[in-house]
Each structure stands twice: as structure tokens, then as C-alpha cells.
């Protein structure tokens, strides 16, 4: 029965994976209802076969009103469609579409210059219209950019990382990433530090000792940063500045597993930076991150994977520019050609994690990690042609932008296999 099937699937999956990050996705992947899965999770947890945690996720759902617009068109489009080419008396039009739709839709249709309300007749000013509101509502109904990206990762065989902790220690956000303690990003001008609780209680002691060593004197072919590493600095709590902090935790866990098993992980969640808010920057935004950990990976693999990933998002022309991150070498900024703007725009950052990071965790010498990160808002802005990020996220979002912007569909998802990656 369904219960036994769910039990088998959960235990079977957890035999070769650390976590089931999303019970909703898992339920649909094994073809049972979420309610059923939930009760099986609860009973397995009660018997201490597994540990489970309630995770809250934001999801956009259409109201009953919006569902009707997604189905029948926006009020203004409904009004427009009800106006015949020869025009129609106002009262008749109102009767045809209903007074509610007439009330909301007619003024917007006039504003859009779709119809004209004369003394006698309401008449068309254009032959046909594009109902972008309906398209946008439909795309929310189908999941918007976030879910599309999630699907791309799932189809590429990535597992989701658990990212539900916004508070992180400096250790996992910076130190474990071989980011020196004097780095400007660790200043309160760039990072939000916590007052209460200001420090973390738990850090893995053996590993911490190794991280200290590699900062101070180096190792694995590196001479280190040659300064006195301070534990107090690593203990400071902060709001994570990137989801790479979570990737680092996951990689550390993976490195402890023997024998080594290759993994592909992704996450999409919120990060925080203490920076001046302007048209392209926000103090909090969503970051998308992907990584592949395997033996003998090269920069060629990274470029191949990035091409596949961004092509799935409809960005087919990419260029890479050498960059610097304390934790990756080589590092590359990713640019995509924007047809509308007719120029190259930056869409993300990427690289191969440094041996100072991976070897300190305990990975074998031939294991490399290719990784990339980008903000969710960035491709959304590019794909929807929005040029001020505050129009997209935060208290100042203007519904008219959503109404007026053209729908942009994400392109087809390409099948992916490591063997196809060009060198």
C-alpha cells in the first residue's frame, strides 16, 4: 500500500543521500499525496528511524479573483473582447461583461488606449491586444522563475541543500572558505552582524584547527595568509552573505563520508548584505547556487555546465571574464548577451574551489568542486526587462510593472550529461 511504499522510498533514498530537502517534491516524485507522506514521516520520526524538521516556504498562489483572470483574461481584455468592431452602447457592454468587470476593466482599457468611450458608443481603438496580465498570472500559476530554475537543477540531477538557517557563524560564511579575517567583506559596513546571540557555541574543533593552520601557514602547496588567526572573529554570528556558506557545510559533511561519493547540489534562498540600496542592489536578495563535486573536474566542465544551465534559462550566448574570489581559483564572472539592451550583462560568478578549502575538509587530492552563484533577481530582471531591482522585490513593488511587462518564457531544458561537456 501507499504507506509501505512511502516508507521504503524514504529509507531507500536516505541510505544514499543525507537529506530529503523538500517533502512536497519528494511526494510528487514518488507519486503519493503530501498528506500521506507527512504521516509516514511523522511515524518514522516517532520511532527515531529518521529525524525530521518543519520547514516553512514562501509560495505565490493566485487568489480566486486572479484565477478567474488567468482563465478568462484580465478585466481590460475582457472588456476589449466584448467590444465588436462596429462599437457597442455602454449599457449593453456593461450587461455583456457584468458590472464588476466593466467597472475595473473599462478604465484600464481606456488607459491602455484599447477602447474609446464616446457619447453613444464604446469602440475599439486597436485591432487586437496582448493580454500580458493574463500571461503573467498564468506563469505564476505554473510557478514563476524560481520554480523554473529549480526544475532545471532537478533535471540536471542536482539535490537541494537545506538552506533554512539565515543566521550563520563567520566560520562557515568566511573562514572555512579561506577568506582572510581582514577581508573588507567581513566589515560591518558590508555584513550584518548579530548582537544577540553575538557568537556561535558550536564549531567542529578538529576542522577548526586545520582551518586556522591553512590561514596562518598554508598547506597543499599554499603559503597561507601569514597572519594570526583569531577564533573570536570566526565565532561572530551574522546574517549569511551568500549561500556558499551552506555549500561549505554540505561539502564538509560530504568530505567526512568514506568512500568518496560524487554529488551535485543546488540551493535557492535568501542572503543579506549591508549595502546601500540602489537600482541594482538590495540589502536582501535570493541567491541561486549550484555545485558539482567529483574527481578530476576541470574548468572545461564548469564552462560546459554553465552553458547548459544558462541555455535552459534562455540565455544562449555567454562570455566569461577572469575574476577573483578568495575561495575559488580560477574564478570567472559570467556575462550573457541581452538582445533587448543590445549589450553584455553580468549574470553570475563562478569558479573552482581552492585546495586550501577542499583539502582542509579532508577531500582526496583528485576531487574538485566546480560552483557558481547568481542572484535570482538578476536573471528575472534581464528576462523581464526590468531595470530597477526595487520594482521586483521589497515594499515598493508596483503592480503596473507586473501588469505591463511582457511575458518571458524560459526556454527548453536541455538534457544534460557530464560526458557531453566539451573540454
Contact residues toward ligand PHE (CB under 6 A) are: 242, 244, 289, 325, 328, 349-351, 371-373
Alpha-carbon span 61 to 403, nearest angstrom: 17
Residue 334 CB, nearest distance to ligand PHE (Å)? 10
Residue 366 CB, nearest distance to ligand PHE (Å)? 20
Residue 244 CB, nearest distance to ligand PHE (Å)? 4
Alpha-carbon span 276 to 190, nearest angstrom: 9
C-beta of 235 vs 289, nearer to ligand PHE:
289
Residue 212 CB, nearest distance to ligand PHE (Å)? 22
Residue 262 CB, nearest distance to ligand PHE (Å)? 17
How far is the CA of 51 from the CAs of 2, 219, 383, in angstroms?
A: 21, 37, 40
Strand-pairing partners, residue 346, are 335
C-beta of 8 vs 319, nearer to ligand PHE:
319
Alpha-carbon span 159 to 265, nearest angstrom: 5
C-alpha cell at 206: 578538529
SS3 of residue 77 by DSSP: helix
SS3 of residue 387 by DSSP: coil
Residue 241 CB, nearest distance to ligand PHE (Å)? 7
Alpha-carbon span 343 to 389, nearest angstrom: 18
Q: Are 315 and 347 in contact (CB under 8 A)?
A: yes
Alpha-carbon span 85 to 81, nearest angstrom: 10
End-to-end CA distance of the chain: 48
Residue 144 CB, nearest distance to ligand PHE (Å)? 22
C-beta of 225 vs 327, nearer to ligand PHE:
327
C-beta of 351 vs 355, nearer to ligand PHE:
351
Q: Are 264 and 291 in contact (CB under 8 A)?
A: yes
C-beta of 74 vs 241, nearer to ligand PHE:
241
Chain centre distance of CA 353:
20
Alpha-carbon span 306 to 333, nearest angstrom: 11
C-beta of 18 vs 346, nearer to ligand PHE:
346
C-beta of 351 vs 379, nearer to ligand PHE:
351
Residue with cell 579575517: 181
Task: Break the chain down into helix, strand, coil percent, rounded to 5.
Answer: 40, 20, 40
C-beta of 114 vs 265, nearer to ligand PHE:
265
Residue 43 CB, nearest distance to ligand PHE (Å)? 39
Residue with cell 579532508: 362
Which strand (E) or helix (H) includes residue 56? Answer: none
Residue 372 CB, nearest distance to ligand PHE (Å)? 5
C-beta of 307 vs 350, nearer to ligand PHE:
350
Amino acid at each position: 500500500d501507499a504507506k509501505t511504499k512511502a516508507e521504503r522510498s524514504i529509507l531507500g533514498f536516505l541510505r544514499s543521500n543525507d537529506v530529503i530537502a523538500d517533502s512536497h517534491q519528494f511526494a510528487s516524485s514518488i507519486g503519493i499525496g503530501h498528506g500521506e507522506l507527512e504521516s509516514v514521516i511523522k511515524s518514522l520520526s516517532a520511532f527515531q528511524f529518521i529525524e525530521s524538521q518543519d520547514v516553512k516556504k514562501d509560495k505565490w498562489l493566485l487568489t480566486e479573483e486572479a484565477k478567474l483572470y488567468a482563465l478568462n483574461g484580465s478585466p481590460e481584455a475582457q472588456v476589449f473582447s466584448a467590444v465588436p468592431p462596429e462599437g457597442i452602447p455602454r449599457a449593453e457592454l456593461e450587461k455583456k461583461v457584468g458590472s464588476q468587470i466593466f467597472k475595473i476593466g473599462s478604465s484600464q482599457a481606456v488607459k491602455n488606449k484599447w477602447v474609446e468611450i464616446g457619447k453613444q458608443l464604446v469602440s475599439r481603438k486597436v485591432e487586437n491586444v496582448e493580454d500580458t496580465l493574463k500571461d503573467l498570472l498564468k506563469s505564476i500559476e505554473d510557478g514563476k522563475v524560481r520554480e523554473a530554475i529549480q526544475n532545471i537543477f532537478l533535471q540536471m540531477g542536482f539535490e537541494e541543500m537545506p538552506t533554512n538557517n539565515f543566521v550563520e557563524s563567520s566560520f562557515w560564511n568566511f573562514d572555512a572558505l579561506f577568506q582572510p579575517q581582514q577581508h573588507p567583506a567581513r566589515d560591518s559596513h558590508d555584513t550584518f552582524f548579530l548582537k544577540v546571540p553575538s557568537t556561535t557555541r558550536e564549531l567542529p574543533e578538529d576542522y577548526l584547527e586545520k582551518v586556522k593552520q591553512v590561514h596562518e601557514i598554508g598547506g597543499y602547496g599554499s603559503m597561507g595568509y601569514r597572519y594570526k588567526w583569531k577564533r573570536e572573529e570566526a565565532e561572530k554570528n551574522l546574517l549569511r552573505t551568500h549561500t556558499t556558506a551552506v555549500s561549505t557545510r554540505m561539502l564538509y559533511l560530504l568530505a567526512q563520508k568514506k568512500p568518496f561519493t560524487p554529488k551535485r547540489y543546488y540551493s535557492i534562498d535568501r542572503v543579506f548584505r549591508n549595502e546601500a540600496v540602489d537600482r541594482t542592489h538590495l540589502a536582501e536578495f535570493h541567491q541561486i547556487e549550484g555545485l558539482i563535486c567529483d574527481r578530476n573536474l576541470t574548468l572545461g566542465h564548469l564552462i560546459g555546465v554553465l552553458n547548459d544551465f544558462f541555455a535552459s534559462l534562455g540565455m544562449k550566448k555567454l562570455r566569461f571574464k577572469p575574476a577573483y574570489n578568495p575561495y575559488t581559483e580560477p574564478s570567472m564572472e559570467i556575462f550573457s548577451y541581452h538582445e533587448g539592451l543590445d549589450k553584455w550583462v553580468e549574470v553570475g560568478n563562478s569558479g573552482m574551489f581552492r585546495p586550501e578549502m577542499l583539502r582542509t575538509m579532508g577531500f582526496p587530492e583528485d576531487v574538485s568542486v566546480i560552483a557558481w552563484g547568481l542572484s535570482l533577481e538578476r536573471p528575472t530582471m534581464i528576462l523581464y526587462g526590468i531595470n530597477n531591482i526595487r520594482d521586483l522585490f521589497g515594499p515598493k513593488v508596483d503592480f503596473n510593472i507586473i501588469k505591463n511587462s511582457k511575458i518571458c518564457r524560459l526556454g527548453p531544458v536541455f538534457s544534460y550529461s557530464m560526458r557531453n561537456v566539451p573540454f
